[in-house]
Structure 1
């Protein structure tokens, strides 16, 4: 009925959640059995900060997440050529092949000057690559060292600082 006449008396949409515009693109290292540790699932928090996540495969087994096949939209070449602003490294499977792939992506991000945000056992992998010590459920790694992430507010500050 409201569609038939052009009146401003139609129902109003209140509380409508508009998606946040993407302001930067970061690579998400896909690992089998991905976990973000005590910080929970941070993918939604990153998207709320305007981060577009580009999955990067570490092997065929990594492309299945919760029974859903995820298509990789970024590669190591995107890191090397500067199309990504950072790398998100969740914890996950520790088989030798996938850990080697994760290490190579972290090393490439480090040499390209990108920030690496790591969670769970990904923190230890990133700390080894950056040559620092970090013992936390999450940490931000950059050339100057590591900053621990103890709560989501720390993650929000870290992402806001990325330009």
Structure 2
């Protein structure tokens, strides 16, 4: 799955999403939203995928973590989200990324306001409240 690289990436109360995804057999490929690389928790993250991977449908989905506001990157993230959905991909969003994904898909962010995560797919937007729910979604993607 593609992972939108955002400053101060955060998955909030759902914790280490990457570990859960790996357990379900899903790897995450970082996609730059501006900077060529970034440091997360003292670890340098380099992009291994590109927007073209979303455009050609070669990914199972897209992950939008929460992150620090960055007006230059917000438009790129919104474009990633709409392109992923146009190609039938599932979008998983976490923290502040939930509201951003909702806005990009013309969904009222208030409907997901209390959710630490959300899945946006062909059935609409569904809140993710627990790691167990996230695990079930990951199983369908793997």
TM superposition score normalised by structure 1: 0.79
8 Å Cα contact 1:32-1:61 kept in structure 2:
no
Could you tell me how far apart the structure 2 residues matched to 1:62 and 1:71 are? 5
Could you tell me how far apart the structure 2 residues matched to 1:152 and 1:95 are? 28
Residue aligning to 1:35: 10
Between 73-82 and 61-70, the greater mean CA deviation after superposition: 61-70
Residue aligning to 2:58: 83
Write 1 or 2 for the structure with the bigger share of helix: 2
| Mapped pair 1:142 → 2:121 | yes
| Mapped pair 1:67 → 2:38 | no
Aligned residues: 138
TM-superposed CA distance for 1:42, in Å, is 1.1
**What is the aligned-residue RMSD (CA, Å)?**
1.4
TM superposition score normalised by structure 2: 0.90
Q: With a CA cutoff of 8 Å and minimum separation of 6, indicate the structure with the bigger relative contact order.
A: 2
TM-superposed CA distance for 1:63, in Å, is 2.2
TM-superposed CA distance for 1:149, in Å, is 0.7
Residue aligning to 2:98: 123
> Which ranges in structure 2 are unaligned for 5 or more consecutive residues?
none
Residue aligning to 1:107: 82
Could you tell me how far apart the structure 2 residues matched to 1:103 and 1:32 are? 15
TM-superposed CA distance for 1:62, in Å, is 5.6
TM-superposed CA distance for 1:67, in Å, is 2.5
TM-superposed CA distance for 1:83, in Å, is 1.0
> Which ranges in structure 1 are unaligned for 5 or more consecutive residues?
1-25
Q: Which has the larger radius of gyration?
A: 1
Query: Runs of 4 or more off by more than 4 Å in structure 1?
Result: none
Residue aligning to 2:25: 50
